[in-house]
Amino acid sequence: MTITLKERRLYQQTILDRAKNPRHFGIANPVNRAKKLENPYCGDRIKITMAVDETGTINDLKFTGSGCALCLASADLMIETVKGKTIEQVQETIEHFHQVMLGKTKLDSDYARLKAIEGVSRYPIKVKCVTLAWHTLKAAIID
């Protein structure tokens, strides 16, 4: 994937903005599923809280925690991507994103808002930062 300097700057601005001013930071209301995970190597910590209705749709989804800009931006963008979807749709999205981060596939056009963090797949040391929230969401769904 080749990106222009203009795109790189836009993605960096998006990541910094989402890390400093997350749109989905807080606690879901009500909370009927929650999970907290941390990366012991770097200290990133994410807690996901969600409200899932009887049809399996995620009506509210929020995160709290601390970490690097990539970790926080990824959590915020993830929530924006999956909120309002069914558990099954979310699981498919999580799996697709993990395949992207492993470099096995390209990001589907349906997930354009994740474009800002897609390029992290080229930096294996940073993939754990970007995927922590996704692993946390997956664990919250399974629990």
**pLDDT per residue rounded down to tens, the chain (143 residues):** 566 787 778 788 999 999 999 999 999 999 999 999 999 989 999 999 999 999 999 999 999 999 999 999 999 999 999 999 999 999 999 999 999 999 999 999 999 889 999 989 989 999 999 999 999 999 999 98
Alpha carbon 116 to its chain centroid, in Å, reads 11
CB 70, CB 130: distance < 8 Å: yes
Distances (CA, A) of 109 to 36, 99, 112, 135: 30, 15, 5, 22
Domain span at 49: 5-142
Distances (CA, A) of 129 to 55, 60, 96, 117, 143: 32, 23, 17, 11, 22
Give the span between the Cα atoms of 75 and 89, in whole angstroms.
17
Is pTM beyond 0.85? Reply is yes
Predicted pLDDT at 66: 97
Among all chains, which residue has been given the structure tokens 């203009």? 6
Predicted pLDDT at 44: 97
CB 132, CB 67: distance < 8 Å: yes
Predicted pLDDT at 5: 80
Say which CATH number the domain at 24 has: 3.90.1010.10
Domain count, the chain: 1
